[in-house]
Structure 1
Amino acid sequence: MTLNSDWDVIIIGAGASGIMCATTAGYRGKSVLVLDHAPKAAAKIRISGGGKCNFTNLTVTPNHYLCQNPHFVKSALARYQPQDFIDLVDRHGLAYEERDLGKLFCAERASDLIQILRTEADWAGVEFLINTPIESVSYTHTTYQIKTPQQTFNGKSLVIATGALSFPKLKATGLGYDIAEQFGLKIIQKSPGLVPLIFEGRWADFCQNLTGIALEVAISIQNQRFQEALLFTHQGMSGPAILQTSNYWQKGMPLSINLLPRLDLPDEFKMLKKTNGSLTKFLNQYWPKKLTQAWLNLHPFDNLANQSDEAIEAYAQLIANWQVYPSDKAGYDKAEVTLGGVNTDEVSSKTFEAFKQPGLYFIGEVLDVTGHLGGYNFQWAWASGFACGQSLP
């Protein structure tokens, strides 16, 4: 298919932020072309949330994001809020459901949401060219030239919405970073985010023995606290609590895990002592028996009736503040997001245009903005895409 060569806006990346930006600009009368080397648009939407896509969260604040400049996210998040996206899918009759902690998921399948986004893009007159590698990007005389195997396209504005390095199976690449560096923008060091943690030695053995067991915990790290599920795996630990923690964890740091976060353990154990109750039976009320046994093997504790209140309090503290040391993060193939990216000091928080390169914009995950687990990264995609689409000249 041969398309026009000249466009008001060319967007590289047919993911959440790219489609939102394209639609917003298209509705403003701009001619918009979206290019992507992957075989399908919106691949990450399709597989996220177990195929149901956690597309936003009812409570979104700047505190839900990691960025070297914590103020950067405020403008876009204020201008396009969760209710704005909910209104969009409501107009199309999308069935969705609210889960714990304000997370919104498609009730049926993520492809229903993709269909809505593609319909909106069609209505806005957006053209897509998928399965199209980008051979080179250049800039002359206020125009960007994007060379592909099919033809070379010219754009007055170029928007980089390439995503990041997580999900390499979905054709994730570092193209967005390469383009940023080509035009002199700085990159914040990148690493896998929202990713399982790996353990070695006795901790690896402990976790491996409990593979498949999940329980609610609270993990504290760097002034953050996450109370969600932890899952033991054959390599270490995963589950929402661990994925959240991984954004803040660095090598050498311990994790402080409360294995019974809903209980006041010193009081519970002292009451158990008075009634001559069994610690094993008590723990089995809250943990799978296999975990109770593994814990008591690791930290034996004689009959409570024989223990002083101080010893009981110390043991309660052991459970409420279990210190473990991961050895590493799993890689990008297991990561939901990428930490780091294009330095936000190089980009306008209102328009997303690069300060030193006119007409070049960066949105979504390619930027040094990473949300918590729970729909926050998609909300950033919608908000940054909308803000950029509104500002394109």
Structure 2
Amino acid sequence: MRQSTTDFDVIIIGAGAAGLMCALTAGQRGRRVLLLERTDKAGAKILISGGGRCNFTNRGIAPDRFVSGNPHFCVSALRRYTQRDFLARVERHRIAYHEKTLGQLFCDGSARAIVDMLLEECEGGQVTLRFGQGISSISKPDGFRVETNSSVFTAPALVLATGGLSIPKMGATGFSHDVARHFGLRVTETRPGLVPFRAKEEAPGFDASLAGVSLDAIVSFENRSFRESILFTHRGLSGPAILQISSYWRPGASIAVDLLPGIDAAAFLKERKRTRPRASGRAVLSEVLPARLAHVLADIHLPPTEMANIPDRILSALAEHLKSWHFAPLETEGFAKAEVTVGGIDTRDLSSKTMEAREVKGLYAIGEAVDVTGWLGGYNFQWAWSSGWCAGQAV
């Protein structure tokens, strides 16, 4: 049976954060917008983010908090549509929110409020939204021709907004990257970002019995450092500081962990040797570390004797370990546990102002599909809002 063809001004593929923002922006400009989604609902990652409360942006958005082959690419979009712009939209819809640590903004209630806001604004822009749309082919005989399992659609503009490879169980694929390659755009190396680490067997300083232990720490790799909590798991390390550094880490390398930020470990141990000479190493370390971690470290690094009997050189060696524990991950937990994809459609092939491909008129890429990855804490959502808005203004 011959499929009917429907014409639009713009076709957006992917009804996630970036796709919804692009659709409502273009629709409210009077563009005839078609938003296609392969799954049966919009905003799937929005709904699960922030423990179901959606960390929708951050007060401290700045270009240096994004990872990209071109660190300057994100500047234009982030300046043209800021965190303050999105927050004003949230406030207009009377969505209650609160600020957590480090400028992170969350809904007081369910993340559903953010999705409903975006869908309401899409409706206001008369956006046509179709779910369950498996795409069989995309071509460009003149404008773009998109064939799905039910129809054929055409438009002079096509926006790739299907995200990256992270969390495949929610439908993530490399679709946008494949389409970009089809039209001659480059795609950089992709890898999991904001993801836990797995430890090597017999990794020095790691013990599976520590699973569940959490503490404040400074985690560093090369010239990047993050001070937040880390969490020991049965398989390795997680927690905000670990997730942050994972976006910079490279396989085979080590990270450095300061387990006692703000404390002079050597001075502390030697002072306790003087003031608590009969205390055990376990007891002394338990003053500044979670008990289970203190016991493991004491058993590894200190002889089973009172502090008065431990040579200063041994205390100095332990202090060095506490301030700079070198942990070499076996690997990350992969895209299945990654919150984002690092890498993507090469920014050299896109306009930083409009997100349009330089050599393919009418083709746009936004959000996680692009080689721009934000820190943990609302940065990736802001990139979705900003890049989606810029493309929506341009199509």
Q: TM-score, normalised by structure 1?
A: 0.95
Alignment of 1:234-253 (within 5 A): 234-253=234-253
Alignment of 1:113-128 (within 5 A): 113-128=114-129
CA contact (8 A) 2:215 2:229 kept: yes
CA contact (8 A) 2:52 2:110 kept: yes
Deviations 1:211-269 (A, max 9, x none): 11111111011211111111111111111111111111112211110111132223322
Using the alignment, how far apart are the partners of 1:77 and 1:303 within structure 2?
A: 57
Q: Which amino acid aligns with 2:299?
A: N
Other structure's SS at 1:188 match: coil
- 1:283 deviates by 2.2
Q: Which residue of 2 aligns with 1:379?
A: 382
Q: Which residue of 2 aligns with 1:150?
A: 150
Q: Which residue of 2 aligns with 1:95?
A: 96
CA contact (8 A) 1:207 1:235 kept: no
Q: Indicate the RMSD between aligned Cα atoms, in angstroms.
A: 1.7
Alignment of 1:185-264 (within 5 A): 185-203=185-203, 206-264=206-264
Alignment of 1:1-393 (within 5 A): 5-141=6-142, 143-203=143-203, 206-276=206-276, 278=279, 279-301=281-303, 303-307=306-310, 311-392=314-395
Using the alignment, how far apart are the partners of 2:323 and 2:210 within structure 1?
A: 19
Deviations 1:49-108 (A, max 9, x none): 111111111101111011001110110011111111110000011111111111111111
Using the alignment, how far apart are the partners of 1:271 and 1:200 within structure 2?
A: 35
Q: Which amino acid aligns with 2:365?
A: F
Q: Which moved more, 1:301-310 or 1:362-371?
A: 301-310
Using the alignment, how far apart are the partners of 2:244 and 2:231 within structure 1?
A: 13
Other structure's SS at 2:15 match: coil
Q: Which amino acid aligns with 2:273?
A: K
Q: Which moved more, 1:205-214 or 1:241-250?
A: 205-214
Other structure's SS at 1:317 match: helix
- 1:207 deviates by 3.5
CA contact (8 A) 1:80 1:383 kept: yes
Q: Which amino acid aligns with 2:87?
A: I
Deviations 1:121-176 (A, max 9, x none): 111111110111111101012x1011011110011110000101111111111110
The percentage of counterpart residues that share the same residue type is 44
CA contact (8 A) 1:204 1:236 kept: no
Q: Which moved more, 1:350-359 or 1:198-207?
A: 198-207
- 1:299 deviates by 1.5
Other structure's SS at 1:76 match: helix
Q: Which amino acid aligns with 2:153?
A: F
Q: Which moved more, 1:206-215 or 1:370-379?
A: 206-215
Over 3 Å counting, the alpha-carbon distance change for 1:280 and 1:49 in structure 2 is same
Aligned residues: 390
Other structure's SS at 1:365 match: helix
Deviations 1:351-384 (A, max 9, x none): 1110110000000000111111111000100010
Over 3 Å counting, the alpha-carbon distance change for 1:40 and 1:205 in structure 2 is farther
Using the alignment, how far apart are the partners of 1:146 and 1:85 within structure 2?
A: 31
In the alignment, structure 2 segments of 5+ residues that lack a partner are none
CA contact (8 A) 1:10 1:32 kept: yes
CA contact (8 A) 1:207 1:233 kept: no
Q: Which amino acid aligns with 1:377?
A: N
Using the alignment, how far apart are the partners of 2:380 and 2:391 within structure 1?
A: 16
Deviation >6 Å, runs of 4+: none
CA contact (8 A) 1:340 1:369 kept: yes
Q: TM-score, normalised by structure 2?
A: 0.95
Using the alignment, how far apart are the partners of 2:207 and 2:314 within structure 1?
A: 26
- 1:22 deviates by 0.8
CA contact (8 A) 2:302 2:310 kept: no
Over 3 Å counting, the alpha-carbon distance change for 1:136 and 1:384 in structure 2 is same
- 1:4 deviates by 7.7
Q: Which moved more, 1:157-166 or 1:253-262?
A: 253-262
Deviations 1:292-324 (A, max 9, x none): 111112212554434565554432121010111
Other structure's SS at 1:104 match: strand
CA contact (8 A) 2:4 2:152 kept: no
In the alignment, structure 1 segments of 5+ residues that lack a partner are none
Using the alignment, how far apart are the partners of 2:242 and 2:373 within structure 1?
A: 16
Other structure's SS at 2:158 match: strand
Using the alignment, how far apart are the partners of 2:156 and 2:67 within structure 1?
A: 32
Other structure's SS at 2:338 match: coil
Using the alignment, how far apart are the partners of 1:286 and 1:102 within structure 2?
A: 27
CA contact (8 A) 2:197 2:329 kept: yes
CA contact (8 A) 1:206 1:294 kept: no
Q: Which amino acid aligns with 2:337?
A: K
Using the alignment, how far apart are the partners of 2:147 and 2:163 within structure 1?
A: 20
Other structure's SS at 1:201 match: coil
Using the alignment, how far apart are the partners of 2:312 and 2:128 within structure 1?
A: 71
